[in-house]
Amino acid sequence: MKFPQLLIGCLCLQAVGSLQAQNQFAFFKIPPTLLPNANTVVRKYELEFEVINKGEALATEHRVVTLLNEKAQTETEQTFSYDKLVKIEDIEGAIYDATGKLVRKIKKKDISDTKMLEYFVSDGRVKTIEFPRMAFPYTIEYTVKRTFKGLMFYPVFAPQTSPSEAVESATCVLKMPPGLEARVKEINVPIGAKTQAYHWQFKHLNAFSTEKHAPDREIPFPVIITAPTLFTLEGYDGDMSDWNSFGRFIWKLNQEKAAIPDATLERLKTITADCPDDRCKVERVYQFLQDNTRYFFVGLGIGGWQPSPAGEVDEFKYGDCKGLSNYMVSMLKALGIPAYYVLIRAGDDEKNTQFPDFPNAWFNHAIACAPLSNDTIWLECTSQKVSCGFMSDFTDDRPALIITEQGGKLVKTPRYDASVNTIRRTTTVQLNPDGNAVFSTKGIYRAIAQQALEELVDKHDEERKKAFYEQINLKDFEITSVDLKQKKGAIPEVEVALQLHAPRFAAASGKRLFVPVCALSETPDLPPVDTLRRFSIQADSRGFTEEDELVIQLPEGYTLENAVQPSSYRSDFGSYDLTISNEPGGKLLIKRKFSLNDSIQPKEKYKEWVDFLKQVNKADKTKLVLAKGT
């Protein structure tokens, strides 16, 4: 009589076990402390990377994410790249409802397979899972298995990828064979997360609110960067133990790629024949490059790391950053000018993501440089518009690896700060008694400040006007004419001449006009006052200076009624000056100068930062009272 009861008990236990397994990803099982500020919660993230030898590895990635609201919808599309060196062996996926019940499994027909770059030459492809959308909250799961043939990269493991993502559990395991070592750099990894060699475990990482003016270089999440020492890539052996040895590897890839056709060399000699020095020759050859080639991505050749031969670029008149940079270096060397191929991590938000103390292949762009006797000229070879020697915010102020025959040398590209990132405007305003005004302004924009305008130099007036309508800080105005002129150089400039009509520039009330002192400048926004900072403060990622001289021709019979005292503020973040003075001939002269530096200040100075911006904001909102004499 006992046996049936035992059987029933076993069946009940089996049912409970099945239910527990089925609802392990139920929403109610998420610890409540993980929900504030979160749009997603990573329930489980497991990465195992097993190195077989210096050229082969296996990787398994398993990730389970609960989507809490509409802001998490980007998670429904998961992409996995591969090419001839990285093969995807298997992908599995599933989706669960709020109770953790399996709704459906992802099938092969749910996974698309497309070229990574549709219009470029590349062997890269992408597999994409489009998870169906459901009522929130719900959970997606995927597992992807890859094999690697060529190992210049080891994983970068980031358990948390955005401030609005919380993490319940994440694990990273790196398995190394005897005789091979991995190098590791840990960023923001909590004490105790590393449980053994090449093994990390993270628990309960909370989401958090973003903070304005947090420095780009302060990575807010835990990140584990791993890299090989010895590696093999398509038959080429490499050593990444230091920058010098890695540079020698890149040098080997670039060998026998420098030959320039005789006809092109003769042409280069002709166009540089009257040059008084090497700088002039570099500028002429760079202009030749811009006039005769165009950018076209070619993701082929030793895992996409080997440039096309200079002769091919010369023949076909196109190349990617590698091919164009190698072509530029080859042309300069053919003329007897020292020049080098350079690797760099490009991008406006990438200037602090390469680590000088950790040699690795975390580069995504190639440029060139010509080290002359008293200066180094840096050359962005993919643009037809960038000035010779100007890096722009794409490649400025960051580590770059110069490739020489002796090896790699890590240096830093030019930094553009508040002394060169400048806007200087001189404006005259003809003010009418009804408050209408006609503006005539000339401005010089330099360095980073001129980049957006550089794109407008060759555009039609309508496109130019559209850009300035979005930029100018006036409530109601019409641009009647616009003209732009570019002056190229190591610190390029764009000169802007504008004519505009502002029908309600000054507010009229009886015999008085109320005139704003800040006409064309943009008043900085005020950050939250009661914020408890988590990160340091950086007023501007590069720094800038804006200077305005505004001459207002007053209507006949009007004078300045209110005396406005000069405003002058100084802080660790920057400076501000405003003066208003009467000038002969019924004119007012308003001078405004606002400068922010790129220094990183401790979070304890947040109140000082807010107070400084309050002072600037208040001064910018000053109104001049003009009264008509009786």
Same domain, yes or no: 363 and 433: no
Q: Any idea what DSSP says for residue 448?
A: G
Same domain, yes or no: 258 and 206: no
Q: Is 118's pLDDT higher than 70? A: no
Q: Is 21's pLDDT higher than 90? A: no
Q: Is 603's pLDDT higher than 70? A: yes
Same domain, yes or no: 192 and 325: no
Q: pLDDT-based confidence at 528, cuts 50/70/90? A: confident
**What's the pLDDT score for residue 324?**
97
The verdict on residue 86 lying in a domain is yes
Same domain, yes or no: 228 and 330: no
> Mean pLDDT throughout 596-614?
96
The verdict on residue 128 lying in a domain is yes
Q: Of 487, 490, 484, 313, give the one whose Cα is nearest residue 389.
A: 490
pLDDT in tens, 361-393: 999 999 999 999 889 999 999 999 899 999 999
pLDDT in tens, 253-300: 999 999 999 999 999 999 999 999 999 999 999 999 999 999 988 776
Same domain, yes or no: 448 and 523: yes
**What's the pLDDT score for residue 10?**
35
Same domain, yes or no: 246 and 201: no
Q: Find the domain containing 146 and state its range.
A: 26-233
> Regarding beta strands 567-571 and 537-538, do their DSSP bridges make them parallel or antiparallel, or are they unpaired?
unpaired
Report how many domains make up the chain. Answer: 3
Cβ atoms of residues 324 and 382 within 8 Å: yes
Q: Is 537's pLDDT higher than 50? A: yes
| Alpha helices (H) in 371-498, listed in sequence order | 392-395, 451-454, 461-471
Same domain, yes or no: 443 and 426: yes
Q: pLDDT-based confidence at 8, cuts 50/70/90? A: very low
Q: Measured between alpha carbons, how far is 465 from 469 in angstroms, rounded to an integer?
A: 6
Same domain, yes or no: 332 and 254: yes
pLDDT in tens, 579-598: 999 999 999 999 999 999 99
Q: Measured between alpha carbons, how far is 468 from 248 in angstroms, rounded to an integer?
A: 48
| Distances from the Cα of 297 to the Cα of 45, 117, 145, 311, angstroms | 34, 9, 28, 17
The verdict on residue 509 lying in a domain is yes
The verdict on residue 4 lying in a domain is no
The verdict on residue 336 lying in a domain is yes
pLDDT in tens, 44-70: 999 999 999 999 999 999 999 999 999
Same domain, yes or no: 31 and 154: yes
Which of 233, 263, 291 is the endpoint of a domain? 233
What mean pLDDT is reported for the chain? 92
Q: Measured between alpha carbons, how far is 613 from 526 in angstroms, rounded to an integer?
A: 6
Cβ atoms of residues 437 and 482 within 8 Å: no
Same domain, yes or no: 96 and 210: yes
Q: Phi and psi (nearest 5°) for 610?
A: -65, -45
Q: Is 217's pLDDT higher than 80? A: no
pLDDT in tens, 188-213: 999 999 999 999 999 999 999 988 89
Angle at 342 between CA 336 and CA 346, to 5 degrees: 145
> Regarding beta strands 298-299 and 121-122, do their DSSP bridges make them parallel or antiparallel, or are they unpaired?
parallel
Calculate the CA 399 to chain-centre distance: 15
- For 270, the token pair is 């002709």
Which of 379, 412, 445 is the endpoint of a domain? 412
The verdict on residue 12 lying in a domain is no
Same domain, yes or no: 194 and 104: yes
Kindly tell me the burial class for residue 232, based on how many C-beta atoms sit within 10 Å of its own C-beta (0-12, 13-18, 19 or more): middle
**E strand spans, 190-275:** 194-196, 199-205, 223-228, 230-233, 236-239
Q: Measured between alpha carbons, how far is 129 from 141 in angstroms, rounded to an integer?
A: 11
Cβ atoms of residues 189 and 222 within 8 Å: yes
The verdict on residue 102 lying in a domain is yes
Which of 361, 389, 412 is the endpoint of a domain? 412
pLDDT in tens, 298-354: 776 687 899 999 999 999 999 999 999 999 999 999 999 999 999 999 998 888 788
Q: pLDDT-based confidence at 473, cuts 50/70/90? A: confident
**What's the pLDDT score for residue 304?**
84
Share of the chain above pLDDT 70, in %: 95
Q: Is 16's pLDDT higher than 50? A: no
- Find the CATH number of the domain harbouring 194: 2.60.40.3140
The verdict on residue 8 lying in a domain is no
- For 155, the token pair is 């994983």
> Mean pLDDT throughout 402-417?
97
Same domain, yes or no: 400 and 454: no
